[in-house]
Amino acid sequence: MDRLEKIIKNILEFREERDWEQFHNPKDLAISLNLEASELLEHFQWKSDEEIEEYIAENKDSISQELADILYWVLLISHDLDIDIESAVQEKLKLNAKKYPVEKAKGKHTKYTDL
């Protein structure tokens, strides 16, 4: 069992022990994912570049917990919808490589439609 499979297994056990699957439909899982992503954003809201650098150094544990929450929901949704998330990421990288060829996109933050 690879690391990702083990994490998914732990997530499913956590949910099963609490009998929470009954509450987990795709809509509410997606809402939970979005809420956690918003909590991550709160860490950076209204801070200058200098403030962010210092804030990250002092709050790395809190930020890492938000990232873990986000990953939790991504893995749970992908499991429940029977999506191989590793394959999905690889496929998305291939699509993005076509949208953002190195020779056009390197060092730029331009959207692919404007390259």
Count how many residues are written for the chain. Answer: 115
Residue 1 has a pLDDT of 77
C-beta of residue 24 within 8 angstroms of C-beta of residue 15:
yes
For residue 87, tell me if it sits in a domain: yes
Per residue in 102-115, pLDDT tens? 999 999 899 888 88
Residue 114 within a domain: no
Q: Are 19 and 27 in contact (CB under 8 A)?
A: no
Q: In angstroms, rounded to a whole number, what is the distance separating the alpha carbons of residues 110 and 113?
A: 8
CB atoms within 10 A of CB 41: 10
Q: Give dist(CA 90, CA 78) in Å, integer.
A: 14
Query: Does residue 8 lie in a domain region?
Result: yes
Total domains in the chain come to 1
Kindly report the backbone phi and psi dihedral angles of residue 31, in degrees, each rounded to the nearest multiple of 5, phi listed first: -60, -45
Mean pLDDT, the chain, rounded, equals 96
pLDDT tier, 78 (very low <50, low <70, confident <90, very high otherwise): very high
Average pLDDT over residues 3-13: 97
In a domain? residue 75: yes
User: Does residue 70 lie within any of the structural domains?
Assistant: yes
Choice among 9-13, 15-19, 30-34, 104-108 with the minimum mean pLDDT: 104-108
pTM score of the predicted model? 0.90
- Please tell me the predicted confidence (pLDDT) of residue 51: 97
With respect to residue 82, please indicate whether it lies within any of the assigned structural domains: yes
Q: How far apart are CA 107 and CA 24, in angstroms?
A: 41
The verdict on residue 110 lying in a domain is no
User: 43 near 63, Cβ under 8 Å?
Assistant: yes
CATH number of the domain that residue 99 is part of:
1.10.287.1080
Domain housing 40: 3-104
pLDDT value, residue 114: 83
29-77: pLDDT as tens digits = 999 999 999 999 999 999 999 999 999 999 999 999 999 999 999 999 9
